Structure 1
């Protein structure tokens, strides 16, 4: 199962999302912290596979790029804020694999986490060659 980390400076929002994900019983562990500074230590200590990050916080700090550079296998889901939907160019620029709303139903958030898990995987060379060969 997967360990998920929620990074959001809004304590009420963070704790509500954490409670929803724990109640879903889909993850081995659900952790949370208020900022990206704290997140890096948690990623290493708890073998976090996917991080849900407040989009505004992610866009205002180079820490997300630093974390992604040190943990390229980390899946990232941006939590939409007041700005609403994030365009795909911004997602790529921030190193994110998916986005979701803080107010989304738990199943929608789980789908975004799954998308990030799949997005962080890179197919092995043999698998990719077989796929391309079979596709001809």
Structure 2
């Protein structure tokens, strides 16, 4: 099963999301912390597979790129506020695989985590060719 880490400086938002994801019984473990420095320590310690990180925090810190460089298999989901949707180029620039709103329904957030799990695998062209009809 999957360990998920929530990184959000807003304690109320972070704890609410942690409670929702824990209650879903979809993950082995749901952890949370206030910032990327603490997240960096938790990733290896708890074998985190997907990190949900506050989009504003991610865009203001180069630490996310360092974390991704050290953990290329880590899936990243950006947590947006009430407004704002990033295009796929910006997501990729930030090192993220998916995005969701903090206010989204738990199943929508779980779907974003699943997208990040798949996205982090980065299957090779040969493997993708087996699943594509044209195979090219």
Same fold (TM over 0.5): yes
Shift, 1:14, TM fit: 0.1
The 5 Å alignment of 1:53-64 reads 53-64=53-64
Where does residue 8 of structure 2 map in the other structure?
Answer: 8
CA distance in 2: counterparts of 1:127 and 1:3, whole angstroms: 26
Distance in 1 between the 2:112 and 2:129 partners? Answer: 28
Runs of at least 5 residues in structure 1 that lack an aligned partner in the other structure: none
Summarize the Cα distance change of 1:133–1:23 in structure 2 as closer, same or farther, 3 Å threshold. Answer: closer
Report the equivalent of 1:80. Answer: 80
After TM superposition, what 4+ stretches of structure 1 lie above 3 angstroms from structure 2? 128-134
Inter-partner Cα distance in structure 2 for 1:52 and 1:132: 30
Shift of 1:132: 6.7
Closer/same/farther in 2, CA of residues 54 and 134 from structure 1, 3 Å limit: same
**Could you list the per-position Cα deviations for residues 61-99 of structure 1 after superposition, in whole angstroms to 9, with x for gaps in the alignment?**
000000000000000000002551112221010010000
- Aligned pair count reads 136
Cα gap change, 1:26 to 1:89, in 2 (>3 Å) = same
Aligned to 1:67: 67
Partner residue in 1 for 2:46 = 46
User: What SS does the aligned partner of 1:135 have?
Assistant: coil
Structure 2 unaligned regions, length at least 5: none
- CA-to-partner distance for each residue in 1:3-50, whole Å, 9 max, x for gaps? 000000000000000000000000000000000000011000000000
Alignment partner, residue 117 of structure 1: 117
Determine if contact 2:6/2:52 at 8 Å carries over to the other structure.
yes
Query: What TM-score comes out, normalization by structure 2 length?
Result: 0.92
